[in-house]
Amino acid sequence: MTDTNARILADYQPSDFAILSTELEFDLADQATRVVNKMHIERITDKAQPLILDGEQLKLISVQLNNIELSESQYQLNETSLTIDTEAQDFILTVITEIDPLNNTALEGLFKSGDAFCTQCEAEGFRRITYYLDRPDVMAKFTTKVIADKKQYPYLLSNGNKIAAGDLANGKHFVTWQDPFLKPCYLFALVAGDFDVLRSSYTTVSGREVALELFVDRGNLPKAEHAMTSLKKSMQWDEQTFGLEYDLDIYMIVAVDFFNMGAMENKGLNVFNSKFVLADQSSATDTDYFNVEAVIAHEYFHNWTGNRVTCRDWFQLSLKEGLTVFRDQQFSGDMHSAAVTRIQNVRVLRAQQFAEDAGPMAHPIRPEKVLEMNNFYTLTVYEKGAEVIRMIHTLLGQDKFRQGMDLYFQRFDGMAVTCDDFVDAMADGSGIDLSQFKRWYSQSGTPELIVKESFDKQQQLFTLTIAQVNKPSKQQTEKQDLLIPIKLELLSDNEKTQHLITLSDSQQKFEFSGYSVKPIVAFLSGFSAPVKVNFPQREQELALIMVKASDAFNRWDAGQQLLTRYIHALVQDADFTLPQDLVVAFKQILTLPGDAALKAEQLTLPSFDELVEQFEQIDPIKLLDALKQIRLFLAQGLASEFHQQFQRLSGRAYQNDGQSIGERALKNVCLAYLSHLSDYQSLTVNQYQNADNMTDTLAALHYQALTASARFSEQIKDFEQKWYQTPLVMDKCFMLQALFADESIFNKLAVLEQHPLFILKNPNRARSLIGAFSHNNPRYFHCLSGRGYRFLAKHVAALNDINPQVASRLITPLIQFKKFDSKRQAMMKTELVNLSQLSNLSRDLKEKLDAALG
Ligand code: 0A1
Ligand code: ZN
């Protein structure tokens, strides 16, 4: 296989043409939507290049240049472009195309979600609507007229302000929208449908009134309140934190059931996966509530970091995504517990981003080579990208970070820029040199820090020697030293001191004087850099950090390190005797006063994914058995304490405040341990029956599935009957069944695949069964019969034709085969080889399969 179509960052050339204005007219029909696209184009370089417009899966009806129809000999058409050989400098080009939204199962371009029309144009979906310069550095003023049947589609929406509306013949009507801001076509959006609308308004700091409109399926209005509140909080936070105010008179959000990703920040008209809009007590968990708020914030924050200042090219994706994720993480931390939010972000990074960085698709946060751009909406670009911004925040400090941001907007408002432009603005705005720091943008892989300590009692000198290891990879054989901010705390009997040191060489010594006794180091406070740490501290030291460190991340991490050590010991030797000290430490967490949400995190074992990352070629079953052993050990050792806490926190009426959410989390962690003990089997059954909220309902069913409880089938049936009509809860229903942890899972999966509500074309549903099984049922996904791998591969093959983006995301657990033992590697590889021989292999899958098998 070759990758001659891959694009390379170094090949970037500015466009020879600018599009000054784009006037669109859509006449909507399920299988034959007509799109008239009138562009005012200007040649901006003196090169005599032809105009090459991007286009895919389009039926070309006509092309006019300055109102004169071109004959077929005056343009060239192929599968991906329309070339017009003109020498004109300044002209009007009108392209008419026809598209088929109903059969657009890839959900890129214009498609149908249920009865509504909607669009998704990022990254390169606009070219499935019309021929265009589909690149983010071509920015135009858009006017959009939408025509559709009035009864079926009472709401016709697009970006900007409504400038005209009226009735037409044959029961049709139209609305015309104009967006006063220049924008690249990836931020274009159109929605047409029949909705319930939640309306509100927000008055900005400067006193402008903004209309807020949230469009949901009919009947879902009460589930939109939380999203609306979240939007207002986001608007206020961005004003207060970054001095950024909203800029249009209207902000619209539409929730749809068919969507590949979480949501999309189209200017003035966000389109959301309904999963990140709808929430109420009975159908949404605490995590769902949290995520709705975070995604609403994320898309809102893009209005400045993404829309007002956008990316020059798609290699710069992290310019907007890393920065916007950092902003939404800060927002969530401010709205909730900053410590718990941070810990949860770190868990995701360690479990998933580290794996990506160690796998065949590893790439720097600014990739250098791309075959299918949709493959680069990754944990690396998003989450590691946010860590890189966080490190700048740490190096500059809050005030200088803000100065840098102010300069960034001053310099680049209305422009399409690069990651280097961003870092330069941060450096110039703060006066801090970030030139070495820039390497984070071009280097893939997770750095490892090797930390050694020494103590000179006579000199009262404590020394830390820190080395950084940036392992060469297939993609990058030579790596350079990074600039790594390390926060730490030195704990001694009478004082605690916090330090920020920066490691810039491959090895450096850091000296701390005035210690008569060796201090204990709480290292990498707040997880100040996205690195692995190799620092062999003694167990007693970790135990002390668990209770004494000022930073909650350090306290949590010390506990996780202890647990991790014992899990490693159990993997080596299943007869390893776990120390009673562990029970004592856990008992302290459980019984001493403290924040319940943080306790829940401290009592949660490292996940299978986090642990896999720390091994080479692990037998997954051995690792799962070790986890099971330590879980049982703690459950048995602390059964009465877990039960006491569980009872203390049970039976309270549902409330949605931070304290109650934390207490629910703690209660359910206790329940999780107890569910593994035969004496406590009735607890999950009772909790399911008595729960007055989805968090508790789901927890009960979840633990039954994980312990393959005999009561599961009866209670999940009840759950299904109750929620049959509610798609987002049916996703949960499929997900729970996919987690059932015994041999019967394969029969269950076979039945579920035939379920009338199992709709492969719906990405949420596909993920809820196939994704949940392959990510979260590792014992059976990795079972030696190979059935788990075959199950995933079979569905990936089917999705290759239906929705390549979803197929390409689901394949992740298979391409990470190198992490596992040789038997499993061989079986996983066989599936990948079979997939690579599919007749219509999509670009998305091809890129990943080439990387994994090459
Ligand atoms: N920019 C959006 C994510 C997004 C990306 C691609 C999509 O379709 C291929 C859809 C959404 C965000 O960061 O929220
Ligand atoms: Zn984003």
How far is residue 90's CA from residue 42's CA, in Å, rounded to a whole number?
4
What pLDDT is stored for residue 1 in this prediction?
Answer: 40
How far is residue 302's CA from residue 263's CA, in Å, rounded to a whole number?
11
Hey, is 819 helix, strand or coil?
Answer: helix
Contact assessment for residue 391 and residue 528, using Cβ atoms and an 8 Å cutoff: yes
What pLDDT is stored for residue 47 in this prediction?
Answer: 86
With a 6 A CB cut-off, is 186 part of the ligand 1 pocket? no
| Segment (H or E) for 97 | strand 90-99
pLDDT tens digits for range 402-417: 999 999 999 999 999 9
How far is residue 194's CA from residue 165's CA, in Å, rounded to a whole number?
17
Rg of the chain over Cα atoms, rounded to whole angstroms, equals 28
Mean pLDDT of the chain: 98
Q: Which amino acid is at 689?
A: Q
What letter does residue 79 receive in the DSSP assignment? S
Contact assessment for residue 38 and residue 86, using Cβ atoms and an 8 Å cutoff: no
Question: Would the pTM of this model clear 0.95, i.e. be above it?
Answer: yes
What pLDDT is stored for residue 474 in this prediction?
Answer: 85
Residue entry with tokens 């007055």: 692
Task: Indicate which atom in ligand 1 lies nearest the CA of residue 299.
Answer: 14
Contact assessment for residue 716 and residue 698, using Cβ atoms and an 8 Å cutoff: no
Mutation to probe ligand 1, out of 104, 111, 264 (largest number of atoms < 8 A from CB): 264
Where does the pLDDT of residue 479 fall: very low under 50, low under 70, confident under 90, or very high at 90 and above? Answer: very high
pLDDT tens digits for range 642-693: 999 999 999 999 999 999 999 999 999 999 999 999 999 999 999 999 999 9
With a 6 A CB cut-off, is 353 part of the ligand 1 pocket? no
Catalytic amino acids? 299
How far is residue 467's CA from residue 506's CA, in Å, rounded to a whole number?
5
How far is residue 17's CA from residue 251's CA, in Å, rounded to a whole number?
31
What pLDDT is stored for residue 475 in this prediction?
Answer: 81
pLDDT tens digits for range 213-270: 999 999 999 999 999 999 999 999 999 999 999 999 999 999 999 999 999 999 999 9
Tokens of 335: 């709205």
What pLDDT is stored for residue 263 in this prediction?
Answer: 99
Q: Is the dihedral of CA 700, 703, 707, 708 positive or negative?
A: positive
* Interval 439-457 mean pLDDT: 98
The ligand with the least distance to the CA atom of 323 is 2
What pLDDT is stored for residue 4 in this prediction?
Answer: 63
* Interval 345-367 mean pLDDT: 98
The ligand with the least distance to the CA atom of 301 is 2
What pLDDT is stored for residue 825 in this prediction?
Answer: 98
Burial class (CB in 10 A: 0-12, 13-18, 19+), 644: middle
With a 6 A CB cut-off, is 377 part of the ligand 1 pocket? yes
* Interval 87-95 mean pLDDT: 97
What letter does residue 50 receive in the DSSP assignment? P
pLDDT tens digits for range 524-542: 999 999 999 999 999 999 9
Residue nearest to atom 3 of ligand 1 (CA): 264
| pLDDT(3) > 70 | no
* Interval 790-804 mean pLDDT: 98
How far is residue 854's CA from residue 849's CA, in Å, rounded to a whole number?
8
pLDDT tens digits for range 113-166: 999 999 999 999 999 999 999 999 999 999 999 999 999 999 999 999 999 999
What pLDDT is stored for residue 268 in this prediction?
Answer: 98
% of the chain with per-residue pLDDT over 70 = 100
Greater pLDDT, 505 or 46: 505
% of the chain with per-residue pLDDT over 90 = 99
How far is residue 430's CA from residue 163's CA, in Å, rounded to a whole number?
43
Task: Indicate which atom in ligand 1 lies nearest the CA of residue 120.
Answer: 8
Contact assessment for residue 445 and residue 438, using Cβ atoms and an 8 Å cutoff: no
Where does the pLDDT of residue 5 fall: very low under 50, low under 70, confident under 90, or very high at 90 and above? Answer: confident
Contacts (Cβ under 8 Å, ≥6 apart) of 825: 617, 817, 818
pLDDT tens digits for range 545-602: 999 999 999 999 999 999 999 999 999 999 999 999 999 999 999 999 999 999 999 9
Question: 304-309: long-range contacts (C-beta < 8 A, 24 or more apart)?
Answer: 304/238, 304/242, 304/244, 304/409, 306/265, 307/181, 307/183, 307/187, 307/265, 307/267, 308/181, 308/247, 308/409, 308/413, 308/414, 309/408, 309/409, 309/412, 309/413, 309/414, 309/415, 309/417
| pLDDT(739) > 90 | yes
CA of 317 to the centre of ligand 2 (A): 9
